[in-house]
Structure 1
Amino acid sequence: MLPGCSADEAESVADKFEESKTVVDELGLYKGKVKIVSNDDPAEEIMLLWGIQQPIYSKPNAFVRQSSLQLHLDACGRSLSILQSPSSLGVPGVTGSVMWDSGVVLGKFIEHATETGTLHFQGKKVVELGAGCGLVGCIAALLGAHVVLTDLPDRLRLLKKNVEDNLYGNVRGSAVVTELTWGNNLDPDLCCPSPDYVLGSDVIYGEDAVVDLLETLSDLCGAQTTVILAGELRNDAILEYFLEAAIKDFVVGSIDQQQWHPDYRSQRVVIYILVKK
Structure 2
Amino acid sequence: MDGHAEEVDELVEVGSYTVPVSLVRDSSAEILILWAIQQPTLSKPNTLVCQASLQLNIDACGHRLCISQSPSSMSKPGVTGAVMWDSGVVLAKFLEHAVESSTLLLHSKKVVELGSGCGLVGCVAALLGAQVVLTDMSDRLRLLRKNVEANVPVHGARGSATVHELVWGEDLDPDLTNPPPDYVLASDVIYSEGAVTDLLATLRELCGMQTTILLSGELRNDAILEHFLDLAIKDFVVGRVDQEHWHPDYRSTRVMLLVLVRKPEQTSDHPIF
Paired with 2:208 and 2:94, the residues of 1 have a C-alpha distance of: 23
Alpha-carbon contact 2:8-2:23 (below 8 Å) kept: no
SS in 1 for 2:261: strand
Match of residue 22 from structure 1: 10
Counterpart residue identity of residue 217, structure 1: L
- Indicate yes or no: 2:229 matched with 1:246: no
- Which of 57, 60, 63 is equivalent to 2:42? 57
Paired with 1:120 and 1:248, the residues of 2 have a C-alpha distance of: 27
Instruction: Please identify runs of 4+ aligned residues in structure 1 that moved more than 2 A.
Output: 13-21
Aligned length: 262
Match of residue 120 from structure 1: 105
Counterpart residue identity of residue 165, structure 1: A
Counterpart residue identity of residue 144, structure 1: G
The superposition leaves residues 111-146 of structure 1 with CA deviations (integer Å, 9 ceiling, x where unpaired) of 000000110000000000000000000000000000
Query: In the superposition, relative to structure 1, how do residues 46 and 16 fare at CA in structure 2: closer, same or farther (>3 Å)?
Result: closer
Paired with 1:18 and 1:164, the residues of 2 have a C-alpha distance of: 47
Paired with 2:31 and 2:235, the residues of 1 have a C-alpha distance of: 19
Paired with 2:68 and 2:232, the residues of 1 have a C-alpha distance of: 33
Match of residue 130 from structure 1: 115
Instruction: List gaps (5 residues or longer) in structure 1.
Output: 1-12
Alpha-carbon contact 2:119-2:134 (below 8 Å) kept: yes
- Which of 201, 204, 222 is equivalent to 2:190? 204
Instruction: Give the TM-score of the pair, scaled to structure 2.
Output: 0.94
Counterpart residue identity of residue 205, structure 2: D
Alpha-carbon contact 2:180-2:211 (below 8 Å) kept: yes
Counterpart residue identity of residue 34, structure 1: V
Q: Percent of aligned positions with the same letter in both sequences?
A: 65
Match of residue 8 from structure 1: none
Pairwise CA distance, 1:106: 0.2
Pairwise CA distance, 1:19: 7.4
SS in 1 for 2:18: coil
The superposition leaves residues 131-172 of structure 1 with CA deviations (integer Å, 9 ceiling, x where unpaired) of 000000000000000000000000000000000001124210
- Which of 199, 202, 207 is equivalent to 1:221? 207
Pairwise CA distance, 1:18: 5.3
Instruction: Give the TM-score of the pair, scaled to structure 1.
Output: 0.92
Superposed, 1:84-103 pairs within 5 Å as 84-103=69-88
Superposed, 1:69-108 pairs within 5 Å as 69-108=54-93
Query: In the superposition, relative to structure 1, how do residues 70 and 248 fare at CA in structure 2: closer, same or farther (>3 Å)?
Result: same
| CA RMSD of superposed structures (Å) | 1.4
SS in 1 for 2:239: strand
SS in 1 for 2:125: helix
